[in-house]
A = this chain, B = another copy of it.
Amino acid sequence: MVIECRLMRSPEELVKSFRESGRKVTPQREKIFQILQGNKTHPTAESVYAELLREMPTVSLKTVYQTLHELVGMGEISPLDLGTGSARFDPNQSTHHHLVCTRCHSVKDLYLDIEDIQIPGEQLEGFDAGTAEITFRGHCSKCRTAVSGQSQIAVHQG
């Protein structure tokens, strides 16, 4: 499997693309583009909002959601539901999978060179599978230490 690199376009290109598709470009939107560019933290709407607030104290969360949805619709970012409570958005559009820490909810990208997974036909029952995401769950290095440390005083928890 060849891994191809597809990142979200640059803020400048997005501005152009927004205008071309009849969308308007506002300072709020431009700033959101910048926050997302090259962002590898798999931000939630809330975390984008928090960063945006630092420069635009009156911006509303609704605006963030709306812009993120526009970007998803245009195929610039991917929505991600990793079971961490809120939706995440990923400007990295390359084929990749995720490591999710079940303790601190951090997410790390994973590039796997795996063969296409074969699904036995009798189990498909006419299902048309377009995408396959693999989510690995466990503990990140930080939490692994924290958990083993913690277990000495709270063995019976969890």
A residues bordering B, Cβ < 8 Å?
A: 79, 81-83, 99, 101, 108, 110-112, 114, 117, 119-120, 123-141, 144
Contacts and interface: CB of A to CB of B under 8 A. Distances in A.
Given A110-B119, A119-B110, A123-B111, A138 B131 contact: yes
A136 B126 contact: no
A124 B138 CA distance: 11
Contacts of A135: 132-135
A81 B124 CA distance: 21
16 contacts: A99-B129, A101-B127, A108-B123, A108-B127, A112-B117, A112-B119, A125-B141, A126-B144, A127-B136, A127-B140, A128-B144, A131-B137, A132-B135, A133-B134, A134-B135, A135-B135
Contacts of A81: 81-83
Given A127-B140, A134-B135, 15 more contacts: A81-B81, A81-B82, A108-B123, A110-B119, A111-B123, A125-B140, A126-B141, A126-B144, A127-B139, A128-B139, A130-B139, A131-B136, A131-B138, A132-B137, A135-B135
